[in-house]
Amino acid sequence: MSNKITDIDMRIMKLLSKNARLTYKELAEILGTTRQRISRRTDKLERNGVILKYTVIPNYDVLGYVHVILGITVKPSVDLDEVLNVLKEDENIKIIQRSLGSHSLVLHIVGPKDMKELEKIISEVSKKIPGIDKLDITFVTETVKFEVL
């Protein structure tokens, strides 16, 4: 098998993106193939990093958390690789994405609802990033739609 994404891979990905708890048996039935083939293709998708993770999308508010997105623009001279290694270790930062355009870094923080505590966390995170040009802070209040593929 090559590293190419096949038609069956794409269909498996779309089904799992809608429900990551579908069993190989259920996937095989829906796609009219064998459990063995699904297992083989899925293993490959995991190994090749096409599937980064199977996860749950929670309602943070009900769990007692606040979901904050930091859109960060750094000066062009900053070595992001070094910064990322430090940020990865920070347990308050759940998602780290490198990016181009308005922001060079997108960080997601899942923190306490207490604004004083949250301010402290955001301040500590931003101190770890040298050469910040712009910092956009966005508080997610409601997830209206969440699809992946």
- Which residues contact a second copy (rule: CB under 8 A)? 5, 10, 13, 16-21, 48-59, 62-64, 68-69, 71, 84, 87-88, 93-103, 106, 110, 136-149
Q: How far is the CB of 119 from a second copy (least distance, A)?
A: 13
Query: 123: which 2 tokens?
Result: 């301040």
Given a contact cutoff of 8 angstroms between Cβ atoms, the answer to whether 87 and 128 are in contact is yes
Pairwise CA distance, residues 81 & 9, whole Å: 32
Tell me whether residue 77 or residue 141 sits nearer to a second copy (CB atom).
Answer: 141
| DSSP secondary structure letter of residue 149 | -
Residue whose pair of structure tokens reads 């593929």 in the numeric block: 149
Tell me whether residue 63 or residue 77 sits nearer to a second copy (CB atom).
Answer: 63
Q: How far is the CB of 19 from a second copy (least distance, A)?
A: 6
Q: How far is the CB of 57 from a second copy (least distance, A)?
A: 4
Query: 139: which 2 tokens?
Result: 């508080």
Given a contact cutoff of 8 angstroms between Cβ atoms, the answer to whether 14 and 45 are in contact is no
Q: How far is the CB of 26 from a second copy (least distance, A)?
A: 12
SS3 44: helix
